[in-house]
């Protein structure tokens, strides 16, 4: 019996090891799809209005721990690179925006926050992880895609922003 | 001892499960609950085990007075972030 | 000569407790390491003449954003005048201390866990080590997990006269646990899970103080006692399924079923239903009902026909045929960080109370405290127990 159990677990361990090595592929590239959403503060904002700037779209939600964790870092990045023609755009994906509004009162940010209540834009951009960040160059092309956030990822963001900010419109 | 029949059957099923998991992982499966639709799943009331210190104790209370043991918990669910 | 009973039946459960704490009882959720938190629990069991209470401290903290470490200190302080104790020995007091340490790390979509537990009382020591991994698939909708645990127990015996440990009696138990689990997000509002666990024990599996009784016409009461004799191996299999559903007005229901059988002939079914209801932002209430039924072990009998009637003999009510019902209630109050007297690093906290009431109803174990009746016609035993938990949790 023990021998059979050992075989069973060798089988499962092997299967698991192979499963673990298979990773999901992500991609970026192509024209950034245009959209227009309600913004915090009452107005609306469309992606087209930001042409000529480097734009980082960050899909987030209040119920997502890593999203909340990276917000202050995104705020720092926005403040630092705004003079160089960079802007962060936060897109909150919750059906009910009141939670986001309340959270932003406690943790304010200076970059625009849009509300994608029907998840139209999330679907458009094939959001496959929370949080997700999309980096768009001055010409309006998607250049980098980040899925998830772990401490230290902000260094990768900064490398990409610095590279894109140097490019001409 | 006489576990053999039961254990063998379960071993076969488990191997099939592992094999099918492996095969399925190779093909791309589109998640039908999108990452931005996990608000309810991320709610603390949807956690299988909200307070591990309490559930571990209650688990101990039952296991030390009953003949049965094992197969009590579950991982997974949650926000699925990262 | 009166003989003392011990926590022998409780100590091996340290093994299960480690596996429960170590990340495979729901601590791990898809995608992220568990949160940093600390819990201080006071637990108290009162029932069947037994009172066991004590603390449980649990601290979990992330390091270098890559590792999550958790440590637990748990104590059972036993004051026992249970039916087994009063009928074969004298009431006693005892203490069991348990320490656990676990490490979790996440690489990509896989979490690896390693843990160790030590449990000690004056005549029983249990050490357990475990390794586990869990992996998220299919857009984090599926989590598969596996773990292996190994336990080493040292069984000793206390001399009733001197109170010290008998140096000539030292036995061992080896335990191995193999677990597999699968968790699946089915819809936006429904999560389901399945687990399978096989445990093998080998060694001295009975309690050196416990006895069985047999018909003895020469005895005044009609029966006499002899030592229990257990097999030296036991293999068990348990399969369980569970589901949790989010109700639209923000509440949750859950259901769980477990099937168990082992080589001792015990077959058990466990079913549980629960309802969780939050009230506003601060309160969460839990209601639970649990049903448990088991068939006796092959070598169990409340009264054997004669001395040494079979190769293996047991009269432990834990191995008998019985049903138990548990009704449970819990309330949680959440308080925010930043309130007076709260250290600044506390982000939020909860005050919790849980109360479970358990009914045990035995079908083939009799209450031999009842005298004046023919052996084997005493009333069947049943009792009720209250389980109380009071705990404070803080997140930092």
The predicted pLDDT at position C31 comes to 76
Which burial class, exposed, middle or buried, applies to C11 when counting CB atoms under 10 A from its CB (0-12, 13-18, 19+)? buried
How many CA atoms within 13 Å lie on the side-chain side of C123? 22
Closest-CA distance of chain C to residue B19, Å:
13
Place of tokens 């979490």: C111
Chains that touch A (3 or more CB pairs under 8 A): B, C
Domain boundaries, chain C: 13-395
Average pLDDT over residues C166-174: 92
Give the 3-state secondary structure of residue A37.
strand
- The pLDDT value recorded for residue A112 is 95
Higher pLDDT pick, C81 / B19: C81
C89 to chain B, closest Cα gap in Å: 19
User: How close, in Å, is residue C135 to chain A by CA atoms?
Assistant: 7
Q: What does the alpha-carbon distance between residue C305 and residue C368 come to, in Å, rounded to a whole number? A: 16
Asked if the C-beta of A150 comes within 8 angstroms of chain C's C-beta atoms, the answer is yes
Angle in degrees, CA A142, A144, A150, rounded to 5: 140
User: What are the residues whose beta carbons fall under 8 Å from the beta carbon of C294, sequence distance 6 or more?
Assistant: B66, B67, B68, C260, C266, C267, C268, C269, C320, C321, C322
Min Cα–Cα distance to chain C from B11, Å: 11
d(CA A145, CA A57): 10
Strand partners, C80: C50, C92
pLDDT of residue A26: 32
Pick from C32, C133, C178: which is nearest to A5 by CB? C178
DSSP conformation class of A141: B
The model's confidence at residue C29, banded by pLDDT at 50, 70 and 90, is low
Cα–Cα distance between C300 and C61 in angstroms, integer? 46
Residues B18, A47: Cα–Cα separation, whole Å: 45
Record: contact C181-B60, CB cut-off 8 A: no
Asked whether the beta carbons of residue A23 and residue C109 sit closer than 8 angstroms, the reply is yes
Please tell me the distance from the alpha carbon of residue B30 to that of residue A127, in angstroms, as a whole number: 12
* Per-residue confidence (pLDDT) for residue A166, from 0 to 100: 93
- Whether C144 sits inside 8 A of A150 (CB atoms) is no
Q: What is residue C342's predicted lDDT score, i.e. its pLDDT?
A: 80
| Minimum distance, in Å, between the CA of residue C229 and any CA atom of chain B | 17
Helical (H) or strand (E) element with B75: none
- Residues C209 and C88: their CA atoms lie apart, in Å, by 9
The enclosing H or E element of A50 equals none
Question: C345-357, pLDDT tens digit by residue?
Answer: 899 999 999 999 9
Structure tokens at C235: 């293999």
Residue A12 · residue C146 · CB < 8 Å: yes
Q: What is the pLDDT of residues C231-251, one digit of tens each?
A: 999 999 999 999 999 999 999
Chain A environment of C198 (Cβ under 8 Å): 5
Mean pLDDT of C64-81: 93
Q: Residue B77: what pLDDT?
A: 72
What distance lies between CA A78 and its chain's CA centroid? Answer: 14
Which residues of chain A lie closer than 8 angstroms to B18, CB-CB? 11-12, 15-16
Contacts of B24 in chain A (CB under 8 A): none
Is pLDDT of C90 > 80? no
Give C213-222 pLDDT, tens digit per residue: 999 999 999 9
Instruction: Say if residues B38 and C139 touch (Cβ distance below 8 Å).
Output: no
Query: A63 vs B36: CB contact, 8 Å cut-off?
Result: no
Reading the block at residue C113, the tokens are 């866990």
Q: How far apart are CA A16 and CA A18, in angstroms?
A: 5
What is the CATH number that goes with domain C13-395? Answer: 2.40.160.40
Instruction: Give pLDDT, residue C62.
Output: 93
Enumerate domains of chain A plus CATH numbers.
28-166 (3.40.30.10)
- Cβ of C146 within 8 Å of Cβ of A23? The answer is no
Q: What is the pLDDT of residue B31?
A: 85
Do the beta carbons of residue C156 and residue A17 sit within 8 Å? no
Does the pLDDT of residue C16 top 80, yes or no? no
pLDDT at C2 > cutoff 90: no
Residue A12: closest C-alpha in chain B: B18
Query: Could you read off the pLDDT of C118-145 as tens digits, one per residue?
Result: 999 989 999 999 999 999 988 889 999 9
Q: Look at residue C18 and tell me whether its pLDDT is greater than 60.
A: no
Q: Which of C32, C68, C138, C395 to mutate to test the interface with A (most CBs of A within 10 A)?
A: C32
Stretch (H or E) spanning A123:
helix A120-124
Interface test with C, best of B16, B52, B62, B81 (most C CBs within 10 A): B52
Q: How many CB atoms lie within 10 A of CB C114?
A: 16
C123 vs C22: which has the higher pLDDT:
C123
Exposure string for A129-153, b = 16+ CB within 10 A, e = fewer: bbbbbbbbbbebebbbbbbbbbeeb
Give phi and psi for C124, each to the nearest 5. Answer: -155, 130
Instruction: Report the alpha-carbon distance of residue B74 to residue C194 in Å, rounded.
Output: 7
DSSP string, B7-69: HHHHHHHHHHHHHHHHHHHHS----SS-GGG-HHHHSGGG-S-S-HHHHHHHHHHHHTTSS--
H or E stretch at A36:
strand A36-39
What one-character DSSP code corresponds to residue A38? Answer: E
Burial B48-68 (b: 16+ CB within 10 A, else e): bbbbbbbbbbbbbbbbbbbbb
Instruction: Sort strands C67-80 and C37-47 into parallel, antiparallel or unpaired.
Output: unpaired
Interface membership of A148 toward C (CB under 8 Å): yes
In C148-187, the residues whose Cβ lies within 8 Å of chain A are: 148, 178, 180
What are the pLDDT digits (tens) for C181-210? Answer: 999 999 999 999 999 999 999 999 999 989
Residue in A2, A4, A15, A20 to test binding to C, most C beta-carbons within 10 Å: A20
Instruction: Please enumerate in sequence order all residues whose Cβ is within 8 A of that of C342, keeping only pairs 6 or more positions apart, or say none.
Output: C335, C349
- Closest by CA position to A44, among listed A108, A95, A117: A117
Measured in angstroms, the CA of B6 and the nearest CA of chain C are apart by 9
Q: Please list the pLDDT of chain A residue by residue as tens digits (169 residues).
A: 556 666 666 666 665 555 444 333 234 568 999 999 999 988 999 999 999 999 999 999 999 999 999 999 999 999 999 999 999 999 999 999 999 999 999 999 999 999 999 999 999 999 989 999 999 999 999 999 999 998 889 999 999 999 999 998 7
Q: How far apart are the first and last CA of chain A?
A: 70
* B3 DSSP assignment: T
Residues C51-80, mean pLDDT to the nearest whole number? 94
Please count the residue pairs, one from chain B and one from chain C, whose beta carbons lie less than 8 angstroms apart: 263
CB atoms closer than 10 angstroms to residue C217: 9
Report d(CA A167, CA A169) in Å as an integer.
Answer: 7
* Minimum-distance CB partner of A5 among C140, C146, C198: C198
What pLDDT is attached to residue C3? 39
The Cβ-side half-sphere exposure at C340, using a 13 Å CA radius, reads: 0
Question: What are the φ and ψ backbone dihedral angles of C66, each rounded to 5 degrees?
Answer: -115, -30
Distance from CA of C326 to the nearest CA of A (A): 34
User: Which pLDDT value is given to residue C23?
Assistant: 39
- Considering CB atoms only, which of B51, B57, B68 is closest to C260? B68
Mark the ranges of chain B whose per-residue pLDDT is less than 70: 1-3, 16, 19-28, 74-76
Specify the pLDDT at position C319.
97
Q: Do C137 and A65 touch (CB under 8 A)?
A: no
Does B81 contact A150 at a Cβ distance shorter than 8 Å? no
Rounded CA separation C274/B23 (Å) = 36
The reported pLDDT for the residue numbered B30 is 78
Residue-wise pLDDT for A125-147, tens only, equals 999 899 999 999 999 999 999 99
- Closest alpha carbon to C113 in C171, C34, C58, C51: C34
CB A134 within 8 Å of CB A71 = no
Whether residue B7 and residue C235 make contact (CB cut-off 8 A), yes or no, is yes
Residue C213 neighbours by CB under 8 Å, 6+ apart: C223, C224, C225, C226, C302, C303, C304, C315, C368, C375
Interface contact flag, C185 B80, Cβ < 8 Å: yes
Q: Is the pLDDT of residue C67 over 70?
A: yes
> Rounded to whole angstroms, how far apart are CA atoms C70 and C63?
11
């Amino acid at each position: 019996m023990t021998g059979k159990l050992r075989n069973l677990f060798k089988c499962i361990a092997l299967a698991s090891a192979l499963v673990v090595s298979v990773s999901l592929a992500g991609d970026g590239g192509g024209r950034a799809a245009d959209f227009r959403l309600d913004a915090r503060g009452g107005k609306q904002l469309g992606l087209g209005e930001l042409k000529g700037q480097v734009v980082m779209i960050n899909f987030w939600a209040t119920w997502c721990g890593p999203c909340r964790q990276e917000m202050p870092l995104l705020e720092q990045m926005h403040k630092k690179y705004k003079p160089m023609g960079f802007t962060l755009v936060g897109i909150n994906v919750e059906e009910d925006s009141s939670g986001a509004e309340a959270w932003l009162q406690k943790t304010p940010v200076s970059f625009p926050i849009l509300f994608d209540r029907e998840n139209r834009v999330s679907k458009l951009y094939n959001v496959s992880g929370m949080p997700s960040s999309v980096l768009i160059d001055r010409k309006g092309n998607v250049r980098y895609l980040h899925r998830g956030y772990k401490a230290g990822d902000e260094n990768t963001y900064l490398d990409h922003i610095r590279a894109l900010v140097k490019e001409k419109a | 001892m006489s576990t053999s029949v039961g254990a063998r059957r379960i071993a076969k099923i488990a191997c099939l499960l592992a094999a099918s998991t492996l095969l399925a992982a190779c093909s791309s499966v589109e998640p039908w609950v999108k990452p931005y639709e996990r608000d309810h799943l991320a709610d603390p009331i949807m956690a299988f085990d909200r307070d591990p210190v309490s559930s571990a104790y209650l688990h101990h209370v039952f296991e030390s007075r009953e003949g049965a043991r094992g197969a009590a918990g579950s991982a997974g669910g949650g926000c699925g972030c990262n | 000569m009166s003989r003392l009973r011990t926590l022998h039946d409780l100590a091996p459960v340290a093994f299960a407790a480690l596996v429960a704490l170590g990340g495979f009882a729901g601590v791990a959720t898809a995608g992220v390491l568990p949160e940093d938190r600390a819990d201080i629990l006071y637990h108290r069991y009162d029932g069947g003449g037994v009172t066991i209470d004590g603390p449980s401290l649990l601290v979990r903290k992330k390091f270098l954003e890559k590792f999550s470490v958790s440590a637990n200190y748990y104590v059972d302080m036993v004051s026992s005048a249970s039916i087994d104790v009063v009928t074969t020995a004298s009431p006693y007091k005892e203490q069991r201390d348990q320490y656990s340490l676990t490490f979790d790390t996440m690489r990509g979509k896989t979490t690896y866990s390693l843990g160790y537990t030590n449990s000690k009382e004056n005549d029983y020591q249990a050490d357990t080590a475990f390794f586990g991994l869990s992996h998220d698939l299919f857009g984090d909708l599926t989590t598969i997990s596996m773990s292996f645990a190994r336990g080493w127990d040292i069984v000793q015996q206390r001399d009733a006269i001197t109170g010290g440990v008998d140096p000539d009696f030292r036995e061992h138990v080896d335990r191995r646990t193999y677990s597999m689990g699968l968790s699946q997000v089915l819809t936006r509002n429904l999560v389901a899970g399945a687990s399978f666990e096989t445990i093998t024990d080998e060694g001295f599996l009975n309690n050196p103080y416990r006895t069985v009784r047999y018909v003895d016409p020469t005895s005044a009461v009609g029966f006499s006692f002899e030592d229990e004799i257990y097999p030296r191996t036991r293999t068990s299999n348990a399969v369980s399924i569970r589901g949790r559903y989010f109700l639209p007005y923000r509440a949750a229901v859950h259901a769980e079923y477990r099937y168990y059988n082992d080589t001792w002939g015990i077959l058990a079914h466990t079913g549980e239903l629960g309802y969780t209801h939050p009230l506003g932002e601060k309160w969460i209430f839990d209601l639970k009902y649990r049903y448990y039924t088991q068939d006796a072990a092959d070598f169990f009998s409340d009264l054997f026909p004669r001395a040494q009637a079979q190769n293996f003999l047991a009269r432990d009510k834990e191995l008998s045929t019985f049903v138990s019902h548990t009704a449970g209630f819990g309330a949680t109050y959440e308080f925010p960080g930043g309130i007076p007297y709260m250290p600044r690093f506390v982000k939020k906290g909860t005050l919790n109370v849980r109360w479970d009431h358990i009914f045990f109803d035995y079908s083939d174990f009799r209450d031999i405290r009842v005298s004046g009746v023919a052996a084997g016609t005493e009333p069947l035993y049943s009792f009720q127990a209250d389980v109380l938990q009071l705990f404070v949790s803080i997140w930092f």
